[in-house]
Amino acid sequence: MKNYLNFETEVKNLESELNQLKDPYNQEGLSEVDTSKISEIQKQIDEKLKDIYSNLDPWQTALVARHEDRPKAKFFIDNLFDEFIPLSGDRFYGEDKSVISGFGKFNNKSVLVIGQEKGENLETRIDRNFGMMRPEGYRKTIRLMKLADKFRIPIISFIDTPGAYPGVGAEERGQAEAIAKSIECCMELTVPTISVIIGEGGSGGAVALASSNKVLMLQNAIYSVISPEGCATILWRDPQKTLEASKAMKMSSKDLLNLDIIDEIILEPIGGAHRDKDLILDNVRDSIEKNLNFFFTMDKDEILNHRKNKFLSIGRNKGFTSQSGLSKNLSMKENVFNKIKLKLKKNKKVIYLGISILVLIIMGLILS
């Protein structure tokens, strides 16, 4: 049974009508299948999906990113990698089932694969903790990333989590420290690292594994410091203001590419990745292959510097401006002293020249 979002009502009605036409054993008994009518309705569905998905607002994009039928990390791991061998445990506490990790082969080359897995149904979602990793999950990935670095094996991560698990047990076992260590480990690796945000990229739980040379993002995925509901609750004291929060956080793939936070958008089929999993699989495969080839001729120092420079350049030229157009409360306020300081810095050479000329004139007057 297909799952539909609240803005897909018209598509749902059309597909229901289409299924009835395709079934010769309908309520009226055995009947002839009307192929011309089927083609007409299918065309209407395609046009409707194209119209809806080409005009998604940021909150609707978040709903698509969370869609129940959206392909998960396990789907990509099972279909993109050969001879995958899952590895478990952090060698400190235990196993975390919310993250799948192990070694496999991509185009006959060894890679380390890490995937945050939400689960496909209620039972597996509970078992996988809805993709929310615990400290032992991050420590497991750190252990494996160091192993991959030792043997010069590239790392590919699939990001899909609402955030790190905020439970009492997780905090007691050092959740914040585990995330920080994971980010530190990612930044120190000397092998190519590629992260693909396939659904939700939520908070530090996502950044812990997405601090990579290349950050790729599916067209309808999201990547943000907090969920829209959480942001709306904090800023406006109203969890219903999810649209305003989604716009303010610039969490869509298009916004993040403009801000140079991600490196590439992987296009999805019309209607989302869940409507044509074979096509999205091909698109992800092509993108990973292209980005792995980018690092083929680089040595370890060049790979490390590439990652370092990528993150150092984020926010240098783009970001919030004094005229953001979102809200007066979200725009930056510059005081007069900062403005003067900035102008002095920009005209440093002219000022030095002026002072030098003035000193020479004063010395000339004194000597004369």
Token reading at 365? 């007057």
- pLDDT reported for residue 11: 86
- pLDDT reported for residue 331: 47
Of 266, 218, 285, 287, residue with least CA distance to 82: 285
- pLDDT reported for residue 336: 65
- pLDDT reported for residue 35: 76
Spans of the chain below 50 pLDDT: 29-30, 320-327, 330-332
Of 273, 164, 266, 253, residue with least CA distance to 208: 164
- pLDDT reported for residue 24: 60
- pLDDT reported for residue 345: 67
- pLDDT reported for residue 338: 65
Q: In angstroms, rounded to a whole number, what is the distance separating the alpha carbons of residues 273 and 200?
A: 13
Q: Which residues contact 200 (CB under 8 A, 6 or more apart)?
A: 62, 65, 66, 131, 160, 161, 162, 206, 221, 222
Q: What is the pLDDT of residues 30-62, one digit of tens each?
A: 455 567 888 888 888 888 898 999 889 999 999
Of 215, 211, 247, residue with least CA distance to 228: 247
- pLDDT reported for residue 212: 94
- pLDDT reported for residue 350: 76
pTM for this structure?
Answer: 0.80
User: Which segments of 162-292 are extended strands (E)?
Assistant: 193-202, 214-218, 222-224, 264-266
- pLDDT reported for residue 324: 43
SS3 category, 211: coil
SS (H, E, C) 107-170: CCEEEEEEEECCCCCHHHHHHCHHHCCCHHHHHHHHHHHHHHHHCCCCEEEEEEECCCCCCHHH
